[in-house]
Amino acid sequence: MRRPAFYSRSPRAPQDAAEPRMPQASDDPTQGAAEPAAAAPARRWQPGRRSFALLLALCVGTAATGVGLWPRQNIRQYTQKDIDAAVLRTLQTATLPSPAAKAAEIIRPSVVRVVGYGPEKKTPEAETQKRGRNLAKGKSPEADEPPGEVERGVGTGVVIVDKGIILTNLHVVAGAEKIKVTFADGLEAPAVITGVQPENDLAVLQAQKLPDDLIPATMRSTADLQPGDQVVAVGFPFGIGPSVSAGVVSGLKRSFRSPEGRQELGNLIQFDAAANPGNSGGPLINMNGEVLGIVTAILNPTQQRTFIGIGFAVPIENAASAAGSPPF
């Protein structure tokens, strides 16, 4: 008998089919009674298709039983309460930057230090600024500047056009023989005055050298500004900075008269973020880092010129018009 091939898909011959045999002499009908046929050899078990199918079914059944008995892993369904707890835990354990810090980081690349050089002014304000600069440098308050370039005034400016157009206060650069600005990346460049708006104490500067990647500030209309809105003042008080102070809008459409009584400014934003000499010309921004105004003055009934809680800024609408930009 031919043994079927294992795993073969072709039909196999019936196991009980007799193999053909050659005719024997004893088969001659003329002979006498034939000898008893030899006993057929015992058949061996062969693993045919039926047996293989049975074995496969047994294996599959055993595997299915094992899977059914295997302990199932519980999949947790998270609820809103679980999510709220996770967020609260993160807020309690992670230190997040404050809104003021994020706003200051946005405006930082656009803020510049402005220094006017020339004959030293003898006004009380100039003397106060000089003492503050000396203290910041670790010098005696009354120390004189070395011969040569004398810092006539130190203030702040903000870049509003990437071509190097800078807004600052007129009193920071008025009378200066030379103006120098320092950008956020440390680049120092000479600058010239290209426009003034005396009624708002504003000056427009053009830097003569620019950083490779100068980022201008974004300006925001003050039409919807309200008392109580959070604001940040960024600048170089007494030449130190850039420094950041935070507060709120205290009032709108305020008026301010200079200590000498020579000029009165109107339509000002009143704020309580700390400002000191050197903050002049710097940006007053909202929590999105957008410029609302240019810091111009602080109210102080004494001659010390220190901050007592009331500062003023020119709305950006007026400041932008000084640079020839259309109003919002």
For the chain, give the longest Cα–Cα distance.
159
Pairing type for strands 178-182 and 230-235 reads unpaired
* CA 5/CA 180 separation, integer angstroms: 97
Assess whether 171 carries a catalytic annotation. yes
Assess whether 280 carries a catalytic annotation. yes
What three-state secondary structure class fits 113?
strand
Catalytic residue among 171, 243, 250, 272: 171
Do residues 222 and 269 make contact, with C-beta atoms less than 8 angstroms apart? yes
* CA 282/CA 155 separation, integer angstroms: 7
Contacts of 192 by beta carbon, 8 Å cutoff, 6+ apart: 179, 205, 206, 208
Catalytic residue among 110, 245, 250, 280: 280
Query: Would you say the C-alpha torsion 275, 280, 282, 284 has a positive or negative sign?
Result: positive
* CA 191/CA 159 separation, integer angstroms: 12
Query: What tokens appear for 46 in the block?
Result: 């062969």
Query: What tokens appear for 52 in the block?
Result: 């293989």
Assess whether 212 carries a catalytic annotation. no
Do residues 258 and 297 make contact, with C-beta atoms less than 8 angstroms apart? yes
Catalytic residue among 201, 243, 250, 272: 201
Which helix or strand (DSSP H or E) is residue 165 part of? Answer: strand 165-169
* CA 70/CA 55 separation, integer angstroms: 23
Q: How far is CA 146 from CA 120, 127, 149, 175, 204, in A?
A: 12, 16, 8, 20, 29
* CA 202/CA 194 separation, integer angstroms: 11
Which positions are annotated as active-site residues?
171, 201, 280
